[in-house]
Every structure is written in C-alpha cells, then in structure tokens.
Structure 1
Amino acid sequence: MAGGVALVIGGGPAGLMAAGEIARAGHKVILAEAKPTLARKFLMAGKSGLNLTRDEGMDAYRARFTGPVVARAVADFGPAEVMDFARALGVELFTGTTGRVFPREMKASPMLRAWIARLSEAGVGIRTRWRWTGLRKGRQFLFDTPEGAVTLTPEVTVLALGGASWPRLGSDAAWVPMLTAEGVEIAPFRPANMGFSIDWSAHMTPFFGQPVKGVALVTATRRTRGEFVISERGLEGGGIYAVSAELRDGSPLALDLVPDLSIEAVAHKIGRISPRESQSNRLRKALRLDPVRLALVKEWGRPLPAGAEALARRIKALPVPLGAPRPLAEAISAAGGITQTALSEDLELTALPGIFAAGEMLDWEAPTGGYLISGCLATGRLAGRAAAAKMGL
C-alpha cells in the first residue's frame, strides 16, 4: 500500500487523538494496535475514576510538564480544551475540590466506546493484533498480523506506542531499537510517578496497606501536603508520586507529622505531658498522633530525644530512609524516550521525515492528577495535525 494513507501505530489516547485529527482533515487513516483491544492503560487508569485533567490556571498547569515541545502542545490544548473534547463525546464531567476533573460515571469505558465510534464513523480503519516489527528504508512499516506479515508504505505516520511502564498493557518499549537504528536519539527510560522501597522492621507488618494522612513531605526544594500508603514493599501513593522525580534524582525526604503546628507549639504540647510517661504516650497524648504516625516515629525516629524541643524537631522532620525507586514495570509512567533534540516543534522525527511521535514515547514528565492523560491528548493532537498538514489538502 503506497501513498495517500496516514498510519497511526498505537491505540492509546495519543494515537486515538492523532488518528481523529488526521481523519477530520479528510485523509484516510489506518490505526494499528498490537493488543486485542484499544487503550488498555487508559482503561486501567479509569478503574480509579479516570482523572482526565486538572482545572487550574494555565501558568500553573504548564509548569507541571517538562520539555518545551510538550509544554507547547499543552499550551494549545489545555484543561478547557480537554474538557470540551470529553463533553463532545457525550461525557458528563465534574470537578473535585482539588481541581481534578472526572467523568460523572467515574469510568473510562463509556468515553472510550464513544471515541472509537466517532473514529469509525470518520473512516479510521482500526486494526488490532497488528504488531509493528520493523522499518525498511525509513518508510516501509512491517507488521505481524493475524493474517500474516503485512507491509505498509504510508504517506505519513504517527507513532504513539507508549513508554516503558506497565509493559503488560502494551507499553513495552520494543520500538526503541528500531528507531535507534535509524538515528533517532532516545534517552534511557527511568521510572516516574512510582513508589520507593523501604526495608521495614517486623513491627511495621500490621500497618501494611494503611494510609498515612495529615503529613507534609519535605524534599530538598519543596514542602507539600500529601497522602501515601505503607505497603510491604515500601511507600506508594499520590503524595510520594508527587515528589518522586526529585527523590529519584537524589533528594532526601523527611516527614512533618504535624504540619499545622510550629516546632515551638509542638515542644510546648509535649512539655505539658509528664516525662514519666513513655515517649509513645507523650506523643499520643500531646499531639494526638494516630497509630500509623506513631509507628513511623518508632521505625525511623529512634533513639528518640528526651528533651521536648529536640523531640519536637524530630517529629517535624522525621528522616525517611528511602531505598531504590520501584521498577519501571510498576511505575505509573516513565521518564526518558525520544529526546527534544530529535523532534521538530511539530513532533516530526528529524531523522525520519514524515514520521511523527506523540504521547509517552517522548522524553517528558508530569505528575499524576490528570496531567499524564492530558499530555498524551495534547501531543497526539499536535502530531496528528502536523501529519495531516504534511499530507496537504
């Protein structure tokens, strides 16, 4: 097959978005997906409610994304545009108190069904179980399909194959050697939005699965409120994910277990309790620490200082002995991928003219909370529009 056809490889949000943009411009599109069904990671994200985007000011929103190319994409397709896109698919939305935007149904599947139906109506040819296996002469795409080997020579191509996190859902980075062989610069993948290993003592076993609430996480550069979970493997959850990039890159972590009180106020409260009481009782009575926070004090704070002020300082800056980041296969997303220097402003691969890339294939990071999905939608839209423009009218 040659000329006149656009090829999109990858059936996640970035690929679906790119395919829709190209079809809307009046071009024929083939969408190839290696898995039996589309958007598996999107559906998995929807199990916890599908946080589509974050309704906030554009300056704060853009600051959440690394990389100038992705920043440009989200500037053109920000929270308002993401919400309009979802509503156009018939999805009713609501915004939570923190600005997080969700479908009213708290599910991804209705939105995905409507999205696929729209693409089919636009003439997008969806091919599942089509695994990309090779690239010849920078233009011929080889696939392993249920009908055997297939070769396509499209006019333009958008690659949206995901990064290297959650490989069981399709993002296995099998594309890396194929693009590297063609001279595309790719930064090594590293886990992002991930937990960290902790070498727990036996006394922490009863607390596995328990949330830690009402604390502040303090890194080398910032202080943020957040909730996380104690697991058998270590620390996980949104509060940890929010600072995970900095921790991965070497920042220490401390916990402020009573962030609404000053050191002086904490010391005063502790000082009012008789020193004849055990340290645990003094902290429980003075500060009303719940069992989980008390357990963390015993785990990481010993030997506890005897003086009220020194003990207050320990409670306000409890050091966390982080182990290694959890591996890529467990991470929500990945840093690394196709570098900014390997791309044009329109996400075209400079080493492979006519081939564009979008989504988690690109080297960018953003926290959880709607930013990852929004970034994939925005880059898919940008790549799709640029590919359509290259095809002409």
Structure 2
Amino acid sequence: MPQQTGKHVVFVTWKTGNAPAFAAAQRLGHHVTLIRSLEMERLQGLDFETSPYGASVDEVHCLQDAGDLDALRVCVGRIHQARPIAGFVASTDAFVIPVAQVAAELGIPFTDAAAARTAKQKSRCRDALAAAGVEDTAHAVVKDLDEALRFAALAGYPLVLKPEMASASEGAFVLADEAALREAMAGVAEHADLYRHGVLLEEYLSGTFLSAEIGLSRGRVLRLAVSERKTWDGHEPLEIGTTIPAAISDGQYEAVMDFAERVIKAVDLRLGIFHVEVMLGADGVPRLIELNPRVMGSCLPNLFCLASGVDFFELLVRVYLDEQLDLGPIDFTHYATVRWFGAADREPTPAELPDLGWTEEYRPALQSLHLAFPDTPTLEPHRGNLGAFGEVQVRHADYQASIDIATHVVDRVASQLGMEVTR
C-alpha cells in the first residue's frame, strides 16, 4: 500500500488488541492519538500499561468511560483544536455511536450516527430491512409475558429471545417451547439492566451460520471475506469459533455478499468496515442474524491476515480515512480458525496455568494459545462471548485440518484442567 503523510487518526478503544492498527497508521505516516476507556479496561481485566502499544501511539488521553458522549465530546474537541483530526477508528460496540455523533458534529468522515443507532437497535434494523424489501424476519419487542405469548402464538416455536440493544451474545436464548419462554421472561426481570432497552423476540432461523466482512469507502463496496461461525451445542447463541474464509461455493459466497451489500445500504451506514451475521438457509437464501456497524471483533482481523496475507489493519485505517480504494478480490491461501472456550459449568478457578509445552507438536499450524483465568475463586459458566478464558488460533492450507488442530488443542487443555469446556 502506498505511503501516506500527515493525517491525524484518533482511535477510541479499550482493546489492547488494536495495537496492530496503531502501528499500521504510523507506518502509513500518520499521527496516532489513542483515547482509552479506563472503566472498560478494568471490567475486562486489561492492563494497557504493561502492553507494548505505546511504541505505536503519539499521544494518549484517558477517559473514565469513553462511551460517555459529553466526556468524549469535550476530549475530542480539545484534541481537534490542537491538531485537526482526519479520521476516527472505533472498533467496539460501546463506542461506535458516540464517536459517530462527535464526528458528525465536527464534520469528520465516519459511520453515519443515525444508521449506527439503527443497526444496534435490533428491531429498528429489521424494520429498515423490511421497508427496503431486503427481508422480513418476524420479530417483536415485548413488554411482558402476555405480549411474548401472543407473539409466540403467531410465530411458533422455536423462538430467539435477546436484548433489544446488547452485544457479545449476552442475554440471548433459543426457546424450544412455552415453558422455556416463561422461564426466560422470568429471568428478564432478574437482569433488568441487560434488557433495559427492551426484550426482542425473533423467528428462529436455521441453516449455515456465516458472517460477511464488508467495507464501504467513498461509496464503493469492499468485499473482504465470508467467515464461518461455530456455536456451542449446550447454548446455541454462544459463538465459540470462526474460520476464515468459509468453505462455501462461489454461488453461496455471491448470495451472502449480495445480501450483505443490500443490508448495509438499506441501513445507510455509508463509511466503515462492517460485520454482517447471516444465516444461509437450506434454500440458499441468506437472512440477517445481526448487523454490527463496526469491524469484526476479537482476534478475527488477525485471522484475516493469517488466511489472506493482506494487512487488514492498514486497510482498516485507510477505509476510516475515507480513501479511494480499489482492493479487488482477496486471494486466500490458507484457512485460519479460532476457538474460544470457557467453563461449561461453574467450576473452581485453577490455582495455576497448566504446562503447555506439548503445544510445540502442533507448530507451525498453531499460531497462538492463550489462557487467562479471572482473579476470582470460581469460574462462572461461559454463556457470553466475553466469558471465555482460552483462545487458540490455527492456520493451515487445508480447511478441515485447521479446524481439527484447533479442536485437538482445546480437547487437550480441557483434559489437563479436568473440566468440561465449551467446545
């Protein structure tokens, strides 16, 4: 990619994993500012201070909560006054909407704020797709059990219940029958904050669970990848893995990408890289699971790099600087697989990490294995994407081998720990 000069890029994030994007921005010749969110770092048990991110950042500003619109507005205003900002990168759900609002106020290109709100408010997103003729999955926001039962009588079982606005699969359930619906609605009252924006019921979609990673820059669509998603049989809404690229036919790829393009245009996101979760039915018709107005999360950008050889992080920076890009088709030479795992049931926290010397048997396919237990006496059951204590990444030229190696590594860790994990 050609060298750029002199622009000011502001990252708003709590993730140390965004450090490769900071470095990419500097390689492209830009001034890099980071706005940290101390409360989110604390909640996630992260320590920015001991990470090597500082080598790729020119200036750092710390907010207690970077999702606080007023605090963010003041902070960004001061930064912009000192050195005009050319673009923002906000790759986490909590910050996309406030950053979009501030960017709009300052006239700086970013994802459209109203569209980001529509994407994150799940029923509103489905309404927008229905109005545009993209799809019409049955759904309803319900206030109580009576409304939930009325919707179920019309839509039938199974159903999906989830918070109207949330992320990381928190609070999502597949409901097989009326008894499960009654139990889930009773649980809503016990977790009122999670469902404070409403309880969404949706028609259950079956098929192959995929996601389209797709960008928009200067009005031009960038087709990056279709990824394959794996969920846990013990709690279907929980995602425990991804493989990039998905092992699907050319026709299926075109169907998913065409659908993703129609989704992001119906919502009018305008600028950014987006993560569109899709269920590809047995009839070949894609339907929306969830639209995320931000880049794919966790380690998935790194998986993309491993599978394609393309520097995703440079691409990310260039998209959010609204540059004219002509990417062309991505030539994937490998398959990259991640598996996340945590305790299947409540377990005592192990006193120490197991000896992982055996992992050398799986090199060079095994790219990384990370284990980190929380500083608590008990491991809570892994039911949301943020609740895993382990992650394994594998790269292999063969699709099935990439998955099998990741599976074997998780199995061996579980055996060492003497506990059942989400796999």
Tell me the TM-score range normalised by the shorter chain.
0.3 to 0.5
Whose Rg is larger? 1
- Greater relative contact order: 1 or 2 (C-alpha under 8 angstroms, separation 6 or more)? 1
The structure with the largest strand share of the pair is 2
Using structure 2 for the length normalisation, give the TM-score: 0.31
